[in-house]
Structure 1
Amino acid sequence: MATLDLNLPAGLPPDGVTPNFENPPNNNALAWGVLLLCQVISTICLVLRGYARVFLLRKFNAEEAFWGCSYAMFKIIEVPGFFVHQWDVLLRDVIPMNYNVYIYGQCYSFAMPFLKIAILIEWINIFVPGGFDRRSIFFWGCSFMIFIQAAALVGIVLALNLQCRPHRAIWDIRVQGDCFAISKIQISSGIIFLISDIVILLLPQHIIWKLKLKTSKKIGVSIVFGLGLLACVCAAVRLSDTMKLVHNTNDAVYFIGVVGFWAFAEMTCGFFICCLPCIPKILHDTGVLRSIKRKLGMNTGTTAPSSANRYGTNGSSSRRNYEANHSTSYYKLDEDGVPMTTIGGTQSTEYLHGGQNGSDINQPTLPSNTRGAHSTVDKASSSKAWRP
């Protein structure tokens, strides 16, 4: 068997182009800047999420164990570099590059599905408290997407590891082996992740616009949960560059870096979205929000009704402000003059305050003479408890 000369160029240059093996043109400076920015954002988000769940909520889930796959990206900067054409790379440099791409693919295939599963579980806890409303389209949509992500994780990881026999032939061009092309897997994974990003972006919007909030607040909440649009853009560009990689095998080294670039950006968006629900609680419980309000000259006092001001009007006034609606089997109450009391939990997220877990909520209480067969307020509030 002839020995492979590793000092040959990895690809043939176009006509009139002279290979540059010593200092090939690259965009490593751009890669360093973007990767470091993404790494800093991802790390901050993971630290904030870990602090909120472990120290504030006293909870720890398995998704916090997946911290990213930046190691392989920074190794690719060393050899051969980002945005380097294949004819400027020697065959001996292709081996470590292939290995780092293999490591990156493994980590990415684990991290992205688990990030999306973590996001979906978080949203189920927010919009379907306790997970009891199994008739909800939102609940079943999230459950279906969780299944898709888990199946994609298993399928992609198995395919990446079984693409060559022996296993070392995956990255070592000196080893002869029986391999199958993974181009279809690359394209399929790109399509799956793009569609899942779009579905995750759209899932909560229907519920948000059904909330009993002012339109301005609905728009604000919708924008916050719509930040997944950034992940959709990154996934779309990544899929486009994957198609270019598949159809430009003569310059695969160049497009591999580009695909990894956008995949890393998509992962950063996932970390940010996963961390987003924890930020308000951290700002509140650590006193940062109070300090900001104080510096801006805003009122920092609690907006919750005190025990002395818990009843807007006297009892006789509240008794005059309700009327029975027998056709719908519930009592309609006016907003004014409704006595307020603090209960342990409720499905309402309209007004939250108080305890560490945000479970103390002010809820209107029916006068005693209305607690009969037609009153469903207490049953609804006691059957499903809100939790973050």
Structure 2
Amino acid sequence: MANSTCKDMDQGCLCSNQAFQMEAAGCITKSCTVKESLIATNSSQTSCGAPVRDNSRGAFVQAIALAIISALFVLQRFSAKIFWGAPIWLDDWFILLSYLTCFINMFFMVCGTIPHGLGRDIWTLSPADITTFGIYLYAGGFAYMATLPLLKLSLLFFYLRIFPTQSVRRVLLGTVILNAVSGIAFCLAFGFQCQPVSYFWNQWDGEHQGHCANSNAIVWGHAAVGIAIDIWMLIVPLSQLKALNLDWKKKVGVGIMFCVGTFVTIISILRLHSLIGFTLHVPNPTQGSLGITTWSIIEMNIGIICACLPSLRILLARLFPRILGTSNQHPSGQTGRDEAGKSSNESRVLGSDTRTTVYAKGSQQRTGAEGIICQREYAIEFGDNDERHLVSMTDLDRGSSRSNVSL
């Protein structure tokens, strides 16, 4: 008060005087315990008529919406395979595991951190709420650390199915090992960053004994390694495009399919911005952690959605063959049609010389006045230079329906 330019008891002047407020906050921090400081800050803010902030509403709606959308994508991926009797592979199981851990993270956010203070000022919360907030933040962070490696493993096992050449498979298997080892290492580092573990959520009050490693180093290291692996996982499939037996338009389409994953990498980079200056030791961690929590939810769910897009394309092609299926139109005397009315199409697996023959039976023909037979076929099949085989969903094409139109 002595150094203030405000008159005694001039509350309006004292509340608007930033120099006085900073000096008073420093004095309270030095003279009081953490809990007493929060009580004093809350009283001061209330007396000055400061608004009670709660920015968690948008994060709540966003988390629920993304969880539902990503669940629908995972559901269509499994339901399509089950309906058509197609095998479920490792990449399918790992996308399911990644969704489960993502859902756990979302559950801890919606039912834990938000009700106990996420997006609100810490001085408006009770000590019990602050401790509970720390517990849910710890559990959600651990689930996040586990989700991203599982998601990458799903994509890597997907690549292993569509790239059969030994050189590429060795690179992919090495990436699988690197991703798994780094994922386990960061999960352990995050889980045991504090000794005892409970010190993670009890350290805020200054009344407990323990120590913690540099949490920012763990979080930044995890983000940097994840982005590096994402970029590497983009380089590997794109490097194989020139060897494909596809025209340039289809190569562009395949490249775009692989580049969808860069959207997740961009989100990971944007998430780094929310890490700048974030630490549990900031004066207002419940408000400061809103950004990093929100970006983490977006990153996980968008990753799951992008990983399921190829299977969605095949499902739509199966349901709407006239729009998304392959269409062939040719006269009866065209090369490649045998006496039984079969058409032989050859497809090349990525990086392999193996060829597969696909037959279309049951054609309907009618001879016109000039003796010319014209037939149109709509078939869901991987045929000559058809990039649909790149999504390794040929198991869904078994017994595919064909619509023959005779003219």
Q: Please, what TM-score do these two structures have when normalized by structure 2?
A: 0.66
The percentage of counterpart residues that share the same residue type is 18
Q: Secondary structure at the match of 1:176?
A: coil
Q: Distance in 2 between matches of 1:350 and 1:20?
A: 78
Residue number in structure 2 paired with 1:81: 118
Q: Distance in 2 between matches of 1:283 and 1:40?
A: 20
Q: Distance in 2 between matches of 1:190 and 1:81?
A: 22
Q: Distance in 2 between matches of 1:186 and 1:171?
A: 17
Give the gaps of 5 or more residues in structure 2.
Answer: 1-32, 361-378, 386-391, 396-407
Conserved 8 A contact 1:8-1:91 = no
Residue number in structure 2 paired with 1:41: 69
Q: How does 1:1-388 map to 2 (within 5 A)?
A: 6=35, 9=38, 24-56=52-84, 57-61=86-90, 62-63=93-94, 64-66=96-98, 67=100, 68=102, 69-74=105-110, 75-82=112-119, 84-126=120-162, 128-129=163-164, 133-136=165-168, 139-173=169-203, 175-246=208-279, 249-285=282-318, 287=319, 289-290=320-321, 293=322, 303=327, 311-312=335-336, 341=344, 347=352
Which range moves more in the overlay, 256-265 or 156-165? 156-165
TM superposition shift of 1:124: 2.3
Q: Distance in 2 between matches of 1:34 and 1:20?
A: 33
Q: Distance in 1 between matches of 2:357 and 2:52?
A: 58
Conserved 8 A contact 1:7-1:92 = no
Conserved 8 A contact 2:118-2:286 = no
> Which amino acid is 1:278 matched to?
S
TM superposition shift of 1:46: 1.5
Give the gaps of 5 or more residues in structure 1.
Answer: 316-338, 365-384
Q: Distance in 2 between matches of 1:349 and 1:24?
A: 67
Deviations 1:196-221 (A, max 9, x none): 22222333222234433333322222
Larger-Rg structure:
2
Aligned-CA RMSD value = 4.2
Conserved 8 A contact 1:359-1:387 = no
Q: Secondary structure at the match of 2:202?
A: coil
Deviations 1:57-111 (A, max 9, x none): 22153412332121112122222133x3444444432211111111111111111
> Which amino acid is 1:103 matched to?
A
TM superposition shift of 1:54: 4.2
Q: Secondary structure at the match of 2:182?
A: helix
Q: What is the number of equivalent residue pairs in this alignment?
A: 323
> Which amino acid is 1:263 matched to?
S
Q: Secondary structure at the match of 1:196?
A: helix
TM superposition shift of 1:272: 1.2
Conserved 8 A contact 2:241-2:251 = yes
Q: Distance in 2 between matches of 1:20 and 1:184?
A: 38
